Structure 1
Amino acid sequence: VYQLGCHFDPNSITVSSSPRFNMYGNEFGMGKAIAVLSGYANKFDGNVSSYQGYEEGSIDLALTLMPDAMKALESDEEFMNAV
C-alpha cells in the first residue's frame, strides 16, 4: 500500500478533494451511496478531504487525526461545545 503521508512534513495540514467526479451520482446496482470514504493510503495525521455532500449544496469532510490528537480534542471543553 502506498503511504502518501510519509512524504509530508508531520506539522503540515493537507486538504484535498476531487471535484471532477460526482461521488454520489454513481450507481453500481447496490443502491445510491450514503457516504464517501477514502482509501487507507489517504489516512495520515492532519489529512482533510472534502467532497461534494449528499444533499445539494453541502460539503462532506473527512478528517484524519492520530489517536492522541483526537483524545486532546475530545478533552477540550471549548472544542466540544462547538461541535
Structure 2
Amino acid sequence: MKAIGRNLIIKKTKEGTTKTKGGLLLAENQRSDVRYVEANVVSVGTDVAGIKENDTIFYDRHAGHTIEINKNSYSVIKAQDVVVVT
C-alpha cells in the first residue's frame, strides 16, 4: 500500500475512554474538546517533505477519510492537516 502525491496513510492511535471531572466516561469520538488526534504514519506520498513512515503525528480530527484494506481500517489525510510530527 502506497500513498500518492501529498497524501498520507495513517493508523489512528487508540485512546480508549476518558473520565471527566464529573465522573462521566467519554469514548474517544465524543471528546469535542480535543481538536488534534494522534496517529502513526503507514505510508507517505511522493510530494510530502518532513514526514516519514513510522512517524507519530498529530492531525485535525475532522481531516481525511477512512479506508479498509485486508480488514484493517486506515485513514487517508493530506499532509497539510498535520500539525505536529514527533
TM-score between both structures, scaled by the size of structure 2: 0.26
Kindly name which structure, 1 or 2, has the bigger radius of gyration based on alpha carbons. 1
Q: Which has the higher helix share?
A: 1
Q: Which has the higher strand share?
A: 2
TM-score between both structures, scaled by the size of structure 1: 0.26
